[in-house]
């Protein structure tokens, strides 16, 4: 299912590139203006069918504040019937994957039980508009509730009572073009306390934040399994690295820890992304309470393949500096190898105590099944020169082929190494000189 959809997408992209007739050349063509591809979607407004009033208004679900006690969308008084929120994007978006994160940190089980998310291309999104439900390809959660696809594009959270927080991540695959808004429908469910929207004792929920990201910006580490090479400090479990919260810490035992002293050199946390992704960046969120920032210093980031062989690595802050409380961003161009894999490690390089200390580790990337994406293309038959710009995997090699008839292909270059996640390949092609029509395609070696 997933592969066939991607293949259709490939075909579409490839043909879009190949079919420039000679008659409209030479001009600079932008096929897809999409370095916006993979984005943090800004939600400009939201309207709800009901809210219980300040500070539990629907617009506090997009105010950027993830602390539950500061508000969120609450529906007390309307918690026994369907309620909806319509989120409008600040600009239409195009994507092949969209990820929705529902942060619910009010506590005491104030999380949504059953819901559905849809997209629209209507010029002005509204509850009564035309909506297409998201078909979830990945459902993850932290804090206790477990998400399940119950059919009819509905998702249900069950399995816990009185959770202190609940964060959901719903990823949908499709061909999204010109999406202007999102509909969150919350549906009553009876878990034993009567049919209510929320899982709390009074049937309410508080949606602290509703966030949308696409493609290469999606955090694939959220809710992912974390293992370590040794014990972490008591009460500071390793899963805090991927629980979606940035307010709680994990670090190794260090001297004086339990069990007895360990030398921390080589200590690592390892995140299993579940499958191979082409990575765009890794983000490290340090401890936020002001204590001991030196514990995030002189570390290695490693990417490993399905067989846990290292395919990319980089050493950071080898001068013993630290980022303080600021998020640290690691790019593929800052290490050596191919920035794509299933496992990501952070490793202590020098044995410093309690190192590495983190509140969260995010690994952003896109499906490894994604085809090469051409973002701009230019050719000039008068002089035989052309240029192709495409999204790439840092460290991977690509080939470019040319053809007159889409049947016989000639290799133009068979080893173009991507030094970053975008390649501009400028070429001279003798066959292009004076040609009426010429086709090109790019593939990963
Ligand atoms: Ca908020
Ligand atoms: Ca965390």
Looking up residue 343, the CATH number of its domain turns out to be 2.60.120.260
Residues 48 and 178 in one domain: yes
Confidence at residue 367, expressed as pLDDT on a 0 to 100 scale: 84
| Ligand 1 centroid, distance to 222 Cα (angstroms) | 19
From the CA of 244, the nearest ligand is 2
| Ligand 2 centroid, distance to 266 Cα (angstroms) | 22
Residues 119 and 243 in one domain: no
Q: How many Å apart are CA 117 and CA 125, to the nearest integer?
A: 13
Backbone torsions φ then ψ of 60, nearest 5 degrees? -75, 0
Residues 353 and 420 in one domain: no
Q: Which of 180, 200, 217 is the last residue of a domain?
A: 217
Exposure string over 75-91, b if 16+ CB within 10 A, otherwise e: bbebbeeebbbbbbbee
The answer to the question of residue 84 being in a domain is yes
| Ligand 2 centroid, distance to 51 Cα (angstroms) | 29
The answer to the question of residue 38 being in a domain is no
The answer to the question of residue 63 being in a domain is yes
Q: How many Å apart are CA 46 and CA 83, to the nearest integer?
A: 13
From the CA of 243, the nearest ligand is 2
Q: How many Å apart are CA 91 and CA 97, to the nearest integer?
A: 17
Exposure string over 294-324, b if 16+ CB within 10 A, otherwise e: bbbbbbbbbbbeeeeeebbebebeeeeebbe
Q: Are the CB atoms for 416 and 399 separated by under 8 Å?
A: yes
Residues 199 and 70 in one domain: yes
The answer to the question of residue 349 being in a domain is yes
| Ligand 1 centroid, distance to 246 Cα (angstroms) | 15
Residues 25 and 47 in one domain: no
| Ligand 2 centroid, distance to 428 Cα (angstroms) | 50
- Those residues whose C-beta lies under 8 Å from the C-beta of residue 332, and which sit 6 or more positions away, are 279, 280, 281, 312, 339, 393, 394, 395, 420, 421
Q: Which of 191, 217, 243 is the last residue of a domain?
A: 217
Confidence at residue 29, expressed as pLDDT on a 0 to 100 scale: 31
The answer to the question of residue 266 being in a domain is yes
The answer to the question of residue 25 being in a domain is yes
Q: How many domains does the chain have?
A: 3
If you ran DSSP here, which 8-state letter would residue 358 be given? B
| Ligand 1 centroid, distance to 19 Cα (angstroms) | 47
From the CA of 361, the nearest ligand is 2
| Ligand 2 centroid, distance to 237 Cα (angstroms) | 10
| Ligand 1 centroid, distance to 103 Cα (angstroms) | 9
Q: Are the CB atoms for 70 and 156 separated by under 8 Å?
A: no
| Ligand 2 centroid, distance to 106 Cα (angstroms) | 16
pLDDT in tens, 165-181: 999 999 998 889 999 99
Residues 195 and 248 in one domain: no
Residues 308 and 288 in one domain: yes
Confidence at residue 81, expressed as pLDDT on a 0 to 100 scale: 98
The answer to the question of residue 95 being in a domain is yes
The answer to the question of residue 102 being in a domain is yes
Give the residue numbers spanning the domain of 266.
Answer: 225-367
Q: Which of 334, 367, 400 is the last residue of a domain?
A: 367
Confidence at residue 444, expressed as pLDDT on a 0 to 100 scale: 87
From the CA of 241, the nearest ligand is 2
Residues 272 and 171 in one domain: no
From the CA of 104, the nearest ligand is 1
| Ligand 2 centroid, distance to 239 Cα (angstroms) | 7
Residues 12 and 50 in one domain: no
Residues of the chain with pLDDT under 50: 1-37, 257-261
Model-level pTM? 0.83
**Of 287, 258, 282, 267, nearest to 355 (Cα)?**
267
């Amino acid at each position: 299912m997933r592969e066939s959809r991607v293949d259709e997408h490939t075909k579409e992209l490839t043909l879009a590139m190949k079919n420039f007739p000679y008659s409209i050349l030479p001009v600079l063509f932008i096929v897809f203006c999409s370095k916006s591809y993979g984005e943090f979607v800004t939600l400009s407004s939201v309207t709800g069918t009901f809210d219980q009033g300040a500070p539990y208004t629907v617009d506090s679900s997009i105010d950027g504040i993830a602390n539950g006690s500061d508000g969120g969308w609450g529906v007390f008084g309307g918690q026994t019937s369907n309620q909806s929120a319509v989120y409008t994007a600040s600009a239409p978006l195009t994507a092949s994957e969209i990820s929705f994160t529902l942060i619910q940190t009010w506590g005491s089980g104030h999380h949504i039980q059953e819901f559905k998310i849809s997209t629209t291309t209507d010029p002005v999104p509204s509850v009564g508009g035309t909506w297409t439900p998201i078909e979830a390809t990945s459902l993850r959660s932290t804090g206790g509730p477990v998400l399940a696809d119950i059919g009819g594009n509905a998702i249900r959270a069950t399995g816990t009572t009185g959770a202190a927080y609940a964060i959901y991540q719903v990823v949908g695959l499709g061909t999204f073009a010109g999406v202007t808004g999102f509909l969150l429908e919350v549906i009553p469910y009876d878990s034993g306390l009567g049919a209510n929207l929320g899982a709390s004792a009074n049937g309410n929920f508080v949606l602290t934040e509703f966030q949308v990201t696409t493609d290469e910006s999606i955090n694939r580490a959220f809710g992912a399994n974390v293992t370590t090479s040794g014990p972490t400090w008591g009460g500071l479990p390793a899963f805090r690295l991927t629980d979606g919260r940035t307010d709680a810490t994990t670090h190794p035992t260090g001297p004086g820890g339990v069990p007895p002293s360990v030398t921390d050199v080589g200590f690592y946390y390892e995140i299993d992304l579940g499958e191979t992704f082409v990575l765009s960046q890794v983000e490290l969120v340090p401890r936020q309470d002001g204590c001991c920032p030196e514990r995030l210093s002189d570390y290695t980031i490693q990417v490993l393949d399905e067989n846990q062989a290292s395919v990319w690595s980089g050493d950071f802050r080898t001068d013993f500096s630290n980022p303080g409380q600021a998020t640290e961003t690691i790019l593929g161009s800052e290490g050596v190898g191919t920035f794509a894999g299933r496992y990501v490690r952070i490793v202590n390089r020098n044995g410093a105590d309690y190192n590495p200390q983190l509140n969260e580790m995010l690994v952003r990337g896109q499906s490894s099944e994604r085809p090469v994406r051409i973002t701009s293309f230019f050719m000039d038959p008068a002089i035989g020169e052309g240029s192709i710009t495409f999204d790439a995997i840092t460290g991977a090699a690509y080939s470019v082929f040319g053809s007159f008839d889409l049947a016989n292909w000639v290799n133009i270059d068979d080893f173009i190494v991507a030094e970053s996640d975008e390649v501009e390949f400028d070429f001279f092609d003798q066959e292009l000189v004076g040609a009426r029509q010429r086709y090109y395609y790019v593939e990963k070696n």
